[in-house]
Structure 1
């Protein structure tokens, strides 16, 4: 277990919680709303399995080199429209399920107030796991359940952040031919507490039942995506990302988990079989793939990843690309973002003022990323 003075390095992957045979570890929210392990010392057996399975405490872990990469998007226009970028995940998930396997991914809770990893075995459930969710998901006991399924010989497809993939491999501590892992190009993760403070500001008190959320609605295009929230009583909230107060704080690195500012699971080499992310900068590689409807960067890291891609590639329009060149436009794959100097002030104010006011006094108000998009759009029009 990480010592108290090192706890900020904790990624919240839940490997320690899943492995504890004495059930003496619970994942508890801290004052910022992030999950951290808490040990009941009276129940602890002193076996140190929690330390052995902690990916943060491991100096060395097996990683894969880049094999090949693609710009890709789903040929099914409906799936592509409803996906964050190119609609890659759904095809991978559908294939695994068609083979009698199961899929683990992040889903909203029923009330949309939190995100958790769940297991599905039906194609009808794939939609729950589609789309970006800019909140850290609770792993719960997913690693335990995956271990059981793997030992039963089932195919398992796990989708998560690089640190969650690291947590899974560290927990299993064994290679399985029937396990396929896919990570994402991750910016960092906010907490449920921040998310719920935001919802209190933008959702009317009379509209308590949210029934739809998309962080990446493409009404205004893929590059100018918007956040949309719908309620059962007819409430609809929609704003372009650079105008929304939650997304503004997210992209200015104001309220990410502490460990996200020094992530050891980024880099060219990866533990996952496949990495998937938005292909920002695709216009520098292919005119055909740059139609502003959503294009993904697919990076194959292992033979299993190549095998899985080959099985589903007919579902996509794709072009092979130089991954190292592509990563120059997608630096979140390689290095951590810098901690916002106003982060502490933001969290100190979280229960003292309205979320919107807290954001306005602690952010610049304009996202550099969107200024770049505006300039590039004007260039294309000239």
Structure 2
């Protein structure tokens, strides 16, 4: 029998693994494609064509978004230590602490021992800490995690889930109905980078510095606390030496081959360029992201978050949490480019079609050369507002064409 997931074009797949979680015969496995992203692979000999995979797939059966535009805020955490660990204004930490304080569970993205982003469950503040900070590589949501979240909700536990909009939509579809004890937080998502390309680059860093990468920050405030900072910092242990002797390397992400390739959209998942969730109507109870506007009334030297409250349930949690923050209401006219449209697909993305990928050895056999191009250098000199305006014009031209 043929599973509906088998007929889904790879260009539309989000790699969320909800199909594998929903399959009653466990015939779906997430495997790496040639571009270093995860895709479902179906063992047809075990498929019973029940259609559950289709029912939970956010590409085949999209989750219904909230009907109205949310209430927009710029937010900064009062806890200065937690703020320093955050990529921007720390809104995630504030929400997570509220849920943890009620003996709830927080589900979010942390780096595993191989420096690959993976969704995990946390029951304490210490377990939440690794979830802080941006991770611009696509995270893996193990199928078993979906089942564990459902089990926690069924037992009456409070759960806060944070992820990309497609991951939030996948969880919503998997659960099948709204849960009063679940809050979801989606991200203003630029797009997610290839896990394979990232792992390959980490291996290059390790070989260059003769050590083991044990930590990474995609927006390190140690290097630059500017609200528009784009940094990439690696923490490395030299081989054979103690972790206390770790050292750091890094700098501006746009001066880094991986960082430049990500920010110029060349290593994103194909479905990111047509993402249906890049719009004002959101699937999460909250939407959070970086807030890079310089004229905010709040102090922006330590970073600010954008936060949209999208549901009645979200508003209730916000009212119980807002004392943890300094915040200002943003005008209804405020927007960000990925609240209007998906990231534009660059011609450089075609280079990923030539990639070879060995799923058993993620560090090998990727022949995409990460590089900083002359066009990248020119783009770096353009003001943010001008670049956003150009993107909007190009998007409208493509729609008209």
Same fold flag (TM > 0.5): yes
1:139 — aligned with what?
141
Quick one: distance in 2 between partners of 1:175 and 1:36? Answer: 27
Could you report, residue by residue, the CA deviation over 1:239-265 in whole angstroms, capped at 9, with x for unpaired residues? 112211111111111010010000011
Residue in structure 1 matched with residue 379 of structure 2 by the alignment = 368
- Aligned residue for 2:302, secondary structure, equals coil
Q: Per-residue deviation at 1:354?
A: 7.5
- 1:344 maps to which residue? 350
Deviation at 1:117, TM superposition (A): 0.5
Q: Which residue in 1 is equivalent to 2:236?
A: 231
Question: Separation in 2 of the partners of 1:204 and 1:67?
Answer: 46
- 1:126 corresponds in structure 2 to 128
Partner of 2:321: 312
Q: Is the partner of 1:128 in helix, strand or coil?
A: helix
Structure 2 unaligned regions, length at least 5: 239-245, 357-363, 387-401
Give the conservation status (yes or no) of the 8 Å contact 1:349–1:358: no
Q: 1:292 deviation in Å? A: 2.9
How far does residue 95 in structure 1 lie from its aligned partner after superposition? 1.0
Of 252, 277, 284, which aligns to 1:240?
Answer: 252
Q: Which moved more, 1:218-227 or 1:304-313?
A: 218-227
Q: Over residues 195-250 of structure 1, what are the superposed CA-to-partner deviations in whole Å (9 max), with x where a residue is unaligned?
A: 02222333335644222210001222232332110112234211112211111111
What TM-score do you get using the length of structure 2 for normalisation? 0.86
Q: CA RMSD in A?
A: 2.2
Aligned match of 2:44:
41
Gap change, CA 1:346 and 1:55, over 3 Å in 2: closer
CA contact (8 A) 1:281 1:326 kept: no
Is 1:346–1:359's contact at 8 Å kept on the other side of the alignment?
Answer: no
Provide the aligned length of Structure 1 versus Structure 2.
Answer: 366
Matched, 1:296 2:296: no
What SS does the aligned partner of 1:57 have?
A: coil
1:102-113 equivalences under 5 Å are: 102-112=105-115
Aligned counterpart, 1:380? none
1:187 is the counterpart of 2:190: yes
Q: 1:238 and 1:181, CA in 2 relative to 1: closer, same or farther beyond 3 A?
A: same
Q: TM-score, normalising length from structure 1?
A: 0.90
Does the 8 A contact of 2:63 with 2:283 survive in 1? no
Matched, 1:274 2:276: no
Once the two structures are TM-superposed, the CA of residue 367 in structure 1 deviates from its matched residue by 6.4
- Residues 1-382 of structure 1 aligned to structure 2 (within 5 Å): 1-4=4-7, 6-58=9-61, 61-112=64-115, 114-140=116-142, 141-204=144-207, 207-218=210-221, 219-222=223-226, 223-233=228-238, 234-283=246-295, 286=296, 288-289=297-298, 291-322=300-331, 324-327=332-335, 330-348=336-354, 358-360=370-372, 364-366=375-377, 368=379, 371-372=382-383
Structure 2 CA distance for aligned equivalents of residues 348 and 237 of structure 1 = 30
Q: CA deviation at 1:374?
A: 12
Q: Distance in 1 between matches of 2:381 and 2:149?
A: 40
CA distance in 2, matches of 1:231, 1:34: 25
